[in-house]
Amino acid sequence: MSGDQRRPSQPLRGRVPLDTLESLESLRPSSLPPELGDLDFKWDDDLAGSAGARHPDQTTSKLELDLDLDEGERPTAVPAIPMDQFVAQAMAEVERREQAGADLLPAQPFDMRSHPPVASFGAAGGDSSFPPTLPSNRVLIAQIPSAISSAHIDPLSVDLAEMDIVRPEIYLTPTEPPDDVLAQDQRLTIAPTEAARARQNEALEASMKPAADRQDLSRAAMKDRYAMGDFTSALEIAETLLASDSADLEAQRYATSCRDVLTQMYLSRLGGLDQIINVVLPPEELRWLNLDHRAGFLLSLVDGASSIEELLDISGMPRLDALKILATLREQRAILLGSR
Amino acid sequence: MERVIGIDLGTTNSCVAVMEGDAPVVVPNRGGYKTTPSIVAVTEAGKRLVGHIAKRQAITNAENTVYAAKRLIGRKWTSPQVKNTLLASSFAIVEGPHGDVRIRLRDKTFSVPEVSSMVLQEMKVIAEDYLGGPVTKAVVTVPAYFNDNQRQATKDAGQIAGLDVIRIINEPTAASLAYGFGKGFDRTIVVYDLGGGTFDVSVLEIGSHGVFKVVATTGDTFLGGEDFDARIIDWLVKGFREEHGIDLRQDRMALQRLRDAAEKTKCELSSVLETEINLPFIISTGRNEALHLQRSLTRTVLEDLTGDLIARTVNITQQALADAKLQVAEIEETILVGGMTRMPAVQRAVRQLFGKEPSKGVHPDEVVALGAAIQGAALVEDRHEMVLLDVTPHDLGIMTVGSHFEQLIPQNTTVPTSRAKTFTTSRDNQTAVKILVMQGESRKAEDNEMLGEFVLTGLKPAPKGELEIEVTFAINTDGIVSVSAKDMDTGLAQSIQVTATSGLTADEIRNMMHNAQEYMVERRTDEAFETERQRAETLISEVEEMFPVVERVVGASDFGRDALAKARSVVERARQAVQRKETQSVREQVDMLERTIRMFRGVVSRGN
């Protein structure tokens, strides 16, 4: 990483007036938060020489942070390409992998004792240019299942959400497992990573600090999660901040941006809003899945003729939640998607 | 000749039919169903949903889903029916600017005819898709008890939907037409109509020359199939609470599923003796597990649960016979209308009441629409023997002293018509009289609907009962009622013209029509794009599948490389056009893709 690649060409963050929703909207189209929209995306990778990969909007500029963190201390890399392209590429990779090695995805019911751990991104033999090269000290999520596989877990007790474990590494390349993977179910008796322990300590310390300090910490955590590509966690934190102050414009921006990116991700996994959904598991087998009532409700709406968009319209659920559930149901092979 | 569609605009479901040759046929909607729920909803994104899709989210989006708008159409804000509906409604009902009723959905307020027009527009689209061309004329059915304002509001709804409603006919009359009554024989019949939300029973005298006289009509606007569903839901909820201690009614998603399951179960039990209700993951416990609902329901239990509802319909039917001053034995035929009449217990009750089998030759869900289609065809084909005469739906008269209603034109009088009656003053030296024009069958004026009022002044002072004032009612062919009062002594006269109104002004109707047209243009544009997009994507897949073969056959030649490059370019352009949502551009690329496929096929066939 070379610091001299970051040359400021825009006013520093905090000096740009963003006091109206109008200005907020005008900055929204980027999948990155508006104030990060002018970043040089190559600040942290080894591809600095390939000028063609630069986002058209991202001319030379300097990364500016709210916190007094040195940029070098930030724990991850921003993708080398614009986020929307990054997501699209990632999803293409998902599809390619599914076609190339469908056996990597466990059939239902998922027996973790009988299935080998999912190969890590690199091991799957994917395109070496994607995802961006990671520093060697980073831990891939894909390594987690191997820990799980040795834990002798009752397959029927595996939570639906756990199934995410086998996939996020394909399009997210965080330095450590995202919070939700670790926190979703205590039955996953895996030891927390160093980073997770650090975060738990952070959270403990944060709970002992005054509210203002806690908010600052949360805000920093939100930005970090966002920069790491952990949009789910970033969104959760943004929503927590908004719960205490609904007028928090920065949290609003982050929440909107996270929702946009996550929506794109789930839609890419599902193949688009016009896909027709069919339930492929018979009712007695469906019962073996560990679903919640919301998934049950969505499944009850599937009639083999309605598209995803129609289902979203009639479910009355937040779109992002519904898309996430559908994507998970698809991974569990409970539903099948196809053209009309 | 222009096709006329017949529409049964029901409280819970609507149906559209057309004549195919000499026979009427019901037109199925895109989902293949012959009836479409009369439900309109607006989603969070502002999208309009009509029909089955609206029904499927009716509980989870209850505040923004309108059902049974028919109970409100043409009613005044102050009417008791509106107050009753307010109590049970999940959507917001507000007072309109003309004392009418409006419905608020999300951030917009709609008039009731506007909401009904959305359902009519859907029926119009269904018919147009089936007939392959535009439809502009319709015969729409209404309950026999609808007054002029309600009929006018239904006509306005048709106009907003882009339909010229050439005739409004009574539902029992339409049902009788579909059964072939009115062709050469006289009959006294009962039409027992148990629909999704309302129960109507009508006694009709049918003349051999196409005169359908509604002798009596009564019913309950809050009794129908939904009440039967509610009993099943209660039974399921109670059972689940006893087993798990959880009230499923607290969760909207669970309740929506219960409602769907209850309706399905009820329908199944009309043909089988027992059925299973299976709702996996109905509710989460909060302990990281979801519970399932699985129960069996027998027809016997369902009949126990709903016996009192059926008994209510029997009582109302007996009341209708009493109103018509007829004995059970005088009823020659009974027609069953409405989906609920498929229930064996309902058929049994009707059979026991009348001592004979009810007519079941025509599908009870479709019979009204079929009759409307028959009438529509008769009107455009000028087949006089089948054309119904326009009649006054209710008695017309004025209020007299003591709040009595004095009838001038009785119900079922064919229009145009004119009747006069002489009245006198009720007080000594009375110099003015107030004429209150009313409509209804009650002898008490306050139970009837007021259509208008005017005052005749300048009367000569005289003892009560001495002056003679002639009141004349006249109804022209357009249904416009003129009422005049004339002092026979002085010749002084005063008059009023009463036009049925839906509560909407002409400008409002014009604006609503404009909005409806815009909506249709947008919808048709989206549909056209969707069709082209699907064609393009199918062709793109086909081209891509052929690439390896073409590459193998001609890839080594300059021509082959050139052709492949061009084909890839066509595919790319087609994808871009789809992404830009440009229908015309996609259409052009579809043409290019088809040419590419023809060329590729030639290459492949030579290669083989």
List, for residues B310-352, the tens digit of each pLDDT value: 999 999 999 999 988 999 999 999 999 999 999 999 999 999 9
pLDDT at B554: 79
Q: Is A84 on the interface with B (CB under 8 A)?
A: no
Between helix A319-331 and helix A308-315 the angle, nearest 10°, is: 130
Is B464 a known active-site residue?
Answer: no
Yes or no: say if B486 and B440 are a contact pair by the CB < 8 Å rule. no
- CB spacing of B253 vs A293 below 8 angstroms: yes
* Closest to B140 (Cα-Cα) out of B126, B131, B153: B153
- CB spacing of A313 vs B43 below 8 angstroms: yes
Residue A24 has pLDDT above 90, yes or no: no
- CB spacing of B281 vs A293 below 8 angstroms: yes
* Mean pLDDT computed over B410-426: 88
Judged by average pLDDT, the poorest of B50-54, B162-166, B238-242, B578-582 is B578-582
Q: Is A156 on the interface with B (CB under 8 A)?
A: no
Residue A105 has pLDDT above 80, yes or no: no
- CB spacing of B57 vs A313 below 8 angstroms: yes
Residue B133 has pLDDT above 80, yes or no: yes
Residue A128 has pLDDT above 50, yes or no: no
A115 vs B196 pLDDT, higher one: B196
* Mean pLDDT computed over B67-72: 94
Amino acid identity, position B85? T
Band of pLDDT at residue B388, cut at 50, 70 and 90: confident
d(CA B59, CA A114): 43
* Closest to B18 (Cα-Cα) out of B2, B38, B37, B30: B2
Residue A50 has pLDDT above 50, yes or no: no
Q: Is A185 on the interface with B (CB under 8 A)?
A: yes
Mutation choice for A interface testing from B253, B291, B530 by most A CBs within 10 A: B253
Residue B160 has pLDDT above 90, yes or no: yes
Q: What six digits make up the tokens of B470?
A: 């002639």
Beta bridge partners of A178: none
Question: HSE of B307 in the Cβ direction (CA atoms, 13 Å)?
Answer: 6
Catalytic hit among B100, B156, B193, B200: B193
Nearest by CB to residue A313, choosing from B31, B49, B256, is: B49
**Percent of chain A's residues with pLDDT above 90:** 22
Residue B182 has pLDDT above 50, yes or no: yes
**Percent of chain B's residues with pLDDT above 90:** 65
A68 vs A131 pLDDT, higher one: A68
Is B148 a known active-site residue?
Answer: no
Q: Is A300 on the interface with B (CB under 8 A)?
A: yes
Of all helices (H) and strands (E), which one includes residue B318? Answer: helix B299-323
* Mean pLDDT computed over A123-129: 34
Q: How far is B246 from chain A (nearest CA, A)?
A: 13
Is B70 a known active-site residue?
Answer: yes
- CB spacing of B281 vs A295 below 8 angstroms: yes
pLDDT at A76: 43
Nearest by CB to residue A314, choosing from B57, B280, B537, is: B57
Q: Is A299 on the interface with B (CB under 8 A)?
A: yes
Band of pLDDT at residue A209, cut at 50, 70 and 90: low
Q: Return all residues near B250 (Cβ < 8 A) that are at least 6 apart.
A: none
Catalytic hit among B55, B70, B124, B266: B70
pLDDT tens profile A180-205: 433 443 333 344 456 666 666 766 66
- CB spacing of A185 vs B288 below 8 angstroms: yes
Residue A3 has pLDDT above 70, yes or no: no
Is B508 a known active-site residue?
Answer: no
- CB spacing of A297 vs B256 below 8 angstroms: yes
- CB spacing of B49 vs A301 below 8 angstroms: no
Beta bridge partners of B191: B202, B335
Nearest by CB to residue B290, choosing from A293, A305, A314, is: A293
pLDDT at B478: 67
